[in-house]
Each structure stands twice: as C-alpha cells, then as structure tokens.
Amino acid sequence: MNALAATSRNFRNAARILGLDAKIEKSLLIPFREIKVECTIPKDDGSLVSYVGFRVQHDNARGPMKGGIRYHPEVDPDEVNALAQLMTWKTAVADIPYGGAKGGIGCTPRELSKSELERLTRVFTQKIHDLIGTHTDVPAPDMGTNAQTMAWILDEYSKFHGHSPAVVTGKPIDLGGSLGREAATGRGVVFGTEALLAEYGKSVKDLTFVIQGFGNVGSWAARLIHERGGKVIAVSDITGAIKNPNGIDITELIKHKENTGSLLNFSGGDNMDPNELLVHECDVLIPSALGGVLNRENASSVKAKFIVEAANHPTDPEADEILSKKGVIILPDIYANAGGVTVSYFEWVQNIQGFMWDEEKVNNELQRYMTRAFHNIKNMCKTHECNLRMGAFTLGVNRVARATVLRGWEA
C-alpha cells in the first residue's frame, strides 16, 4: 500500500471514530490548492532543459501551510498530495499553528551542478513566490534539498517581497536558521520514546535498542540514547549492519563512520546480516531509514516490545495488524518524527521575533511540545479506545476539523 492509500485509510478511520460530518470529511480531504509549474533553465553547457515543479497546499485552517520541498526523479503529484495531507495532521498533533503542504521538482539533483541547482531553485521560486510566504505557506528541506536550497529560495523570494527570513525554515544558521534544528527530529524521537516508556514504568537507561538507518535521524537518536545510558545493540545503514550485545559505543561508531564511510568492520562490534536487524531481539526497535520495511513477510518475527517510527511509513498496514495482535506497542510516525517540524516552527517564531534562542531553550521547548503531544494522544486513545496510531490521527484530524468549523462555511 503506498503512502497516499495508507494516509487516506488512516484519515477515514479517524473520521469514522470521530463521527465527522460527511461535508467536513470531504472538505478535509481535498487539497486547498495544487500548483504545477514548468521550470526551464539553461544548463552549464548552454542547452535548455525543463522540469516540472509541484506544490500541494493541503489545508490552512490552523495556520500557514508547512512542508518540505524535495528534488527527486520520482516526484509524483499523488505522493506529494499524500505527504501534504500528512503534514496537516502532523502539525495538528504537535499543536503548532500550521496547516500542511509539500512540494518538489522532478529532477535528479546529483546529475545537476551547483549552479544548475541554484538556477532551478530560483526559477521555481519565481513561479510560486506569490503563493508562498511567511503567513501563507512556509517550505522546508526534504529529500534532495538542504539548507543551501532554502538560502536560495529566501534570497529569490526577498527580491520580490523584501527581506523575509521566515518564508522558509531549515536555513543555514547565518541566515536565521535555528540552533538545534539539525538534531531536532532524532531528539524528538528520543523525547517521544521517553514519554512512551514512562507510561510503562520504564526508562531508556534500562533497555536495549535496535536502530535501522544511521543518517540524520538515526544517528542523532542513537547518540542521545547512548548519552542517556540506553544500550544500542544493533545499527544498520545502506552499507551494512553491526551488533554488540553489550551496547555499541555510539560516539566511537560515528568517528568510525566518518573515517571509513561505513558502519562495517567497527572494532566495537561484529558485522551482522542486515536482514536480521529488524527481527533482532531487543526492547525498542527504531526504523529510521525507509518506508515499508516492516511488512507481511517479517512482522511476525519481530521481537521488539516497542517500535518507534522515526522514518515515515516504516510499517505497512498488514504489518501494523500483525504487530498489534502480538501486543507490540507502536509509536506512530505522525507523532514520533514531528520534532523536526516543531523546531522548524521555533525557527519561524525566532525569525518573526527577530530574536535568536539559545540551544538549551530550543531543546527544552521541544521536550515540552513532544511530551504534551504524547499525553494528548493518550487521552484520545482512552476516549476512543484505540491504539496510538489512531489516537494520533483522531487528535490531529479533530483539531483541524474544529478549526474548520469555527472558521465557518459562508463565502
């Protein structure tokens, strides 16, 4: 099941549990605006090339729309649509005053030079500048884009509208980016895990963890778990997997990866079969790489008691069912990886305030938002007798529905 089908299914279940009026349900599903633009740029050799750029603005009932811009050859309008919708529920779960959006350009960024990427980003910004803005739609980096991309959008947008740092988040610190943004998603994963474990009278320091993916999210989550005394007993990335039943020294592993480019052959652990990682014996499994990795084939062999979905859509609906029957507790992606967008919100607030927070304040506020959202989800679980995924979806959908009704329907 693809991202669009899974998101729509979760939305419809939430709407049914909440008893949403059919008119509101339909209005919440249809995107506010879909933008498709042609972006033609001269390549470095002088030839002209055209790309198609998209921006789907899903909903703005709770505030400006928020979501990433990805550069990827398979950017497809249906997927962008699903991801925009997911952002609407995610920002509502985190209770930050935003709606949802997502965008992208169908291109292969590694085949473009830096100056071609800059031209493409500027042309895309020229085409959409009157439809995005600090109080309308605030893009951020996603797959294939980064802080530099946001810097170009900020610069191009500001030519039309004056200096506008809050038009994008995920910027370089020198241009108004927030301290703590790089670690925010991984840190949010750990705050969410702590809130979940506290419900069961457990804490990070007493448990074993397995982490798939050692990029931005996975490596920060691993580092913070290690700092708290938790035992990370197996880790994988695209290069392979390693394990150590006594706990991996994550600080040393990061150095090893920097030096060798791989996790493999680390002196503080043994290489292992990456296919075995997700079904390795542990207390908490944190998929932090790809979607759909937990599926019908492997779900019944999973031994973890808790799964924290740091990646988007790591558990397909069939696996969800199998794991629920086994009593595995799943902390859903819509909440677990919301730390990134929450600190993006702090970045936007700092830009509007014209005042930079120190990193401690950013991290403390992130913990407050993540912990509060967890308790809000638990309350929905109690009210509607549902699991954490439905607790999160009903929380998010209900908040957006309430805002929509309060705004009224008259033209």
Q: Does 289 bind ligand NAD (CB under 6 A)?
A: yes
Contacts for 255 with CB less than 8 Å, ≥ 6 apart: none
We find the least distance from the C-beta atom of residue 333 to ligand NAD, in angstroms, to be: 7
State which residue has the least CB distance to ligand NAD.
215
Q: 61: closest CA among 406, 410, 411, 404? A: 404
Contacts with ligand NAD: how many residues (CB under 6 A)?
20
Q: Is 378 an annotated catalytic residue?
A: no
Q: Does 138 bind ligand NAD (CB under 6 A)?
A: no
Q: Does 344 bind ligand NAD (CB under 6 A)?
A: no
Q: What is the dihedral of CA 96, 100, 106, 112, to 10 degrees?
A: -20
Residue selected from 290, 296, 321, 359 as contacting ligand NAD according to rule CB under 6 A: 290
CB distance 119 to 102 below 8 Å: no
Q: Does 236 bind ligand NAD (CB under 6 A)?
A: yes
Q: Does 311 bind ligand NAD (CB under 6 A)?
A: yes
Q: 345: closest CA among 147, 224, 180? A: 180
Q: Two tokens at 86? A: 């997911």
Burial of 237 (0-12, 13-18, 19+ CB in 10 A): buried
We find the least distance from the C-beta atom of residue 137 to ligand NAD, in angstroms, to be: 18
Q: Does 238 bind ligand NAD (CB under 6 A)?
A: yes
Q: Does 260 bind ligand NAD (CB under 6 A)?
A: no
By CB under 6 A, the residues from 152 to 211 that bind ligand NAD are 185
Residue selected from 63, 64, 177, 213 as contacting ligand NAD according to rule CB under 6 A: 213
By CB under 6 A, the residues from 349 to 408 that bind ligand NAD are none
In the bound state with ligand NAD, the residue whose beta carbon lies nearer, of 17 and 278, is 278
Q: Two tokens at 406? A: 């309060």
We find the least distance from the C-beta atom of residue 164 to ligand NAD, in angstroms, to be: 22
We find the least distance from the C-beta atom of residue 311 to ligand NAD, in angstroms, to be: 3
- Pairing relationship of beta strands 65-72 and 99-106 according to DSSP bridges: parallel
Residue selected from 158, 203, 216, 371 as contacting ligand NAD according to rule CB under 6 A: 216
How are strands ordered across the β-sheet holding 99-106?
33-42, 48-59, 99-106, 65-72, 137-141
In the bound state with ligand NAD, the residue whose beta carbon lies nearer, of 216 and 295, is 216
We find the least distance from the C-beta atom of residue 202 to ligand NAD, in angstroms, to be: 24
We find the least distance from the C-beta atom of residue 272 to ligand NAD, in angstroms, to be: 12
- The one catalytic residue in 66, 90, 102, 257 is 102
Residues that bind ligand NAD (CB under 6 A): 185, 212-218, 236-238, 274, 288-290, 310-312, 337, 340
Active site residues: 102
